[in-house]
Amino acid sequence: MLDMRHLGAERIIDRLPGSRELSMTFAGVDPIYDPVPVRPGAHYHMGGVETGNDGETELTGLYAAGEVACVSVHGANRLGGNSLMETITFGRRAGRAAAEWALANTTVDLPESAKADAERELKALLDVSSGERPWQIRNDLGTSMLENFGVFRREEQMTRQVEIIAEVRERYERGVVVEDKGDVFNSDLTQAIELGNMIDLAACMLQAGVARKESRGAHARPYDYPDRDDENFMKHSISRWAGDGPELSWKEVRYTKFDPMERKY
């Protein structure tokens, strides 16, 4: 329970109107009068596609911005305002750079096979007529990730989750049924594709999480590595997809004006 009553009606209405609206709508609780039931939830994705200051990525012509991108300004902490920086500042820069690139490069050299591969994958996904619906797999993925890779992380749970992900992937690759075969706003298809991406992403997160033997920002391992270890882990985790699994590497942290320091509040 989160008790905000001591703040008083005026401050709650003035300063926390959005939180009050959420509490009243979803929990039926007015925080002026009662404590609000709370639980962990995925609020914001730190990390993401590695970009430079103009949203450019490793792939020429591909730009990333917002929650999907990682300009690496804030590190592993979800500080108030992370997302503002990603959208307002770097979103603007990425948008501008992407537009400039698109205007200067009207055609892109793509191997014919890339397009054929994508089309074949889509067709294969749409052709499955019997098997599991994606939602069952998605639910199992979400539930197990929350349990084993949630707020506080334990080595053995993370290792177990790696196995669970392998099972989930096997189920997914056996073929999931997409009921919508149409080509207008087919969110059944996009959700099935996204599920595949989520499984890949979970594998990357787990590999990096197990390897990072320290606690930093949102990566908390209070049972085996409760402290931050700048000597060994003051570095970015970089995941690349290598054929059938993620490949982890590290990248130096570049800092200029401010020296990184432990958060002590």
By CB under 8 A, tell whether 182 contacts another protein: yes
What's the residue count for the chain?
Answer: 265
Interface region with another protein, contact rule CB under 8 A, candidates 78-86, 108-116, 171-179, 229-237: 171-179
By CB under 8 A, tell whether 21 contacts another protein: yes
Q: Per-residue contact track with another protein, 42 to 71, x per CB under 8 A?
A: ------------------------------
3-class DSSP assignment, residue 36 = strand
Long-range contacts of 211-220 (CB under 8 A, 24+ apart): 211/237, 211/248, 212/237, 216/75, 216/76, 217/46, 217/75, 217/76, 217/77, 217/78, 217/263, 218/46, 218/76, 218/77, 218/78, 219/76, 219/153, 220/151, 220/152, 220/153
How many helices and strands (H and E) does the chain possess? Answer: 9, 4
Distance in Å, CB of 122 to another protein, minimum: 16
Q: Which of 9, 62, 88, 116 binds another protein (CB under 8 A)?
A: 9
Interface region with another protein, contact rule CB under 8 A, candidates 110-118, 184-192, 195-203, 217-225: 184-192
Contacts of 137 (CB under 8 A, 6+ apart): 168, 171, 172, 176, 195
By CB under 8 A, tell whether 34 contacts another protein: yes
Distance in Å, CB of 208 to another protein, minimum: 26
DSSP annotation string for 91-118: HHHHHHHHHHHHHH--S----HHHHHHH
Distance in Å, CB of 213 to another protein, minimum: 34
By CB under 8 A, tell whether 140 contacts another protein: no
By CB under 8 A, tell whether 186 contacts another protein: yes
Interface region with another protein, contact rule CB under 8 A, candidates 20-28, 123-131, 200-208, 222-230: 20-28
Distance in Å, CB of 166 to another protein, minimum: 24
3-class DSSP assignment, residue 260 = coil
CA distance 35 to 25: 14
Q: What is the binding site for another protein (CB under 8 A)?
A: 1, 3, 5-6, 8-10, 13-14, 17-18, 20-22, 24-26, 30, 32-35, 133, 135, 177-180, 182, 184-188
